[in-house]
Amino acid sequence: MENNNTPNNEAGGQAGFNQAYYQQIRLHEIFLRIDRCFVSPLEVNDWLKPGGFGGGVYNYKIIAADLTSAYITISAKLSKEEKNIMKQKQDEIDEIIYTKKLYTSSLDAQNRRYKIFDFTTWKLLKGLLLEFRGNVESLMEKYGFGNPSKKDPTKSSIEF
């Protein structure tokens, strides 16, 4: 039986590029990172530093960026209506990330700085991130980017 899951399918003596194989790897890596970041979404992730130095990035921002990457990877297959729905959700997430702050700082009576956490904004953002992820995963399944159905393995983007 021929294995088409490799980057170069040499069946019939011809080398070929299997884009679906690389898309599956890309999506797998994206969702691994999302899952790792969702363990502690409000922590600063020091391994991803802008410019390679300085402070890190909050995990929730990495989650949002990776969900966008997953969406972009599958977007060519989506209908115009599906793209519009996803764009609206993405805009809602961006609105919170780029215009609202989850943390603000203030000074106490002794002039010591402390952080105030905005739970309402976080609850809204977390809900939108989870909804966006669910939508991406549903669309992946619909268009054959996810795991193949046990009933119909032909729906996978990789031949089994």
pLDDT tens column, 52-77: 555 688 999 999 999 999 999 999 99
Question: Largest alpha-carbon pair distance within the chain?
Answer: 78
Residue 83 lies in a domain: yes
Model confidence, pTM: 0.77
Give per-residue pLDDT as tens, 47-57.
755 555 556 88
Domain that includes residue 64, residue range: 23-147
Tokens found for residue 134: 């669910």
- Of the candidates 150, 152, 42, 139, the one whose C-alpha atom is nearest the C-alpha of residue 90 is 139
What's the pLDDT at 99?
Answer: 96
Tokens found for residue 97: 């990330």
Task: Spell out, as residue ranges, where the chain has pLDDT lower than 70.
Answer: 1-17, 48-55, 146-160
Whole-number Cα distances in Å, 12 to 94, 149, 158:
48, 28, 18
Residue 17 lies in a domain: no
What's the pLDDT at 109?
Answer: 87
Residue 5 lies in a domain: no
How many domains does the chain contain in total?
1
| Residue in this structure with the two tokens 């089994």, named with its chain if needed | 160
